[in-house]
């Protein structure tokens, strides 16, 4: 039985991934804090697709328990997908380091604590796939969310180095960079409709990348070119933009 472990399984993107992948005969471990909230979703998925979906309690910020969490799983996953994201409050974080730390730890530090353990296990087996959802916000800092962007930039670099390290061990590492996605995390933001995609579209892009063993994907694809243009803007002009 092939299992996929979803880290941060209560997110809208995570649920869209499960719905899509489960139609292709994959089984799931859904890891999240207060995972009992996923019970109904798990049961519905099993009923519709006749596969196994198990909920596992995980507080990503409690790094001391990461090893116990992973090694308590009897049938280890062939693929691990991190969908964790915490946008946070930029203005609050500028005056309260506790919010800064929460943004950094949730989006970067705590995730790599767990992924380090998982990749070490993958290397022993000489196989596995790791998919990390980063963000286009990490490609260049914006005054409106540079702390979130900094954490995602660090995660992107981590995945890049991990991809190079793990390639010889037959481990595929995929970096996913979504742009604007209509989710619970962004529902209070005034997002441009023509640049905003859905969790289902992100899930489809991830599924294709998983099947084709890609390295880095932008979802939607147009963000690759938007970021290319943004990175061409000289710093003297860029710092004056209200973005």
* 144 touches 91 (CB < 8 A): no
Domains and CATH numbers, the chain: 3-238 (3.40.50.720)
Report the 10 Å Cβ neighbour count for 90.
18
Average pLDDT, stretch 109-129? 97
* 206 touches 176 (CB < 8 A): yes
Greater confidence, 51 or 126? 126
Burial class (CB in 10 A: 0-12, 13-18, 19+), 184: exposed
Burial class (CB in 10 A: 0-12, 13-18, 19+), 132: buried
Condensed to tens digits (0 to 9), the pLDDT of residues 211-242 reads 999 999 999 899 999 999 999 999 999 999 88
- Per-residue confidence (pLDDT) for residue 189, from 0 to 100: 67
Q: Which tokens in the block code for residue 45?
A: 């998925």
pTM given for the model: 0.94
> What percent of the chain clears pLDDT 70, i.e. is strictly above it?
98
Average pLDDT, stretch 46-71? 93
């Amino acid at each position: 039985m092939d299992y996929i472990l979803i880290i941060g399984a209560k997110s809208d993107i995570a649920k869209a991934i499960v719905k899509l992948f489960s139609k292709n005969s994959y089984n799931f471990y859904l890891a999240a804090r207060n995972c009992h909230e996923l019970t109904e979703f798990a049961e519905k998925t099993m009923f519709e697709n006749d596969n196994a979906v198990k909920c596992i309690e995980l507080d990503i910020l409690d790094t001391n328990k990461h090893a116990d969490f992973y090694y308590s799983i009897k049938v280890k996953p062939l693929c691990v997908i991190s969908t964790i994201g915490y946008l946070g409050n930029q203005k609050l974080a500028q005056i309260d380091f506790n919010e800064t730390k929460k943004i950094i730890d949730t989006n970067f530090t705590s995730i790599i604590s767990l992924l380090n353990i998982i990749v070490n296990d993958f290397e022993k087996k000489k196989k596995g796939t790791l998919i990390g959802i980063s963000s286009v916000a990490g490609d260049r800092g914006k005054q409106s969310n540079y702390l979130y962007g900094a954490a995602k930039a660090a995660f992107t670099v981590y995945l890049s180095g991990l991809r190079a390290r793990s390639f010889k061990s037959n481990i595929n590492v995929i970096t996913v960079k979504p742009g604007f996605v209509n989710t619970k995390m962004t529902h209070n933001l005034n997002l441009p409709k023509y640049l905003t995609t859905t969790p289902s579209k992100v899930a489809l892009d991830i599924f294709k990348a998983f099947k084709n063993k890609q390295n880095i994907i932008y979802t939607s694809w147009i963000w690759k070119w938007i970021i290319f243009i943004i990175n061409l803007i000289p710093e003297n002009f860029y710092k004056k933009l209200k973005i």
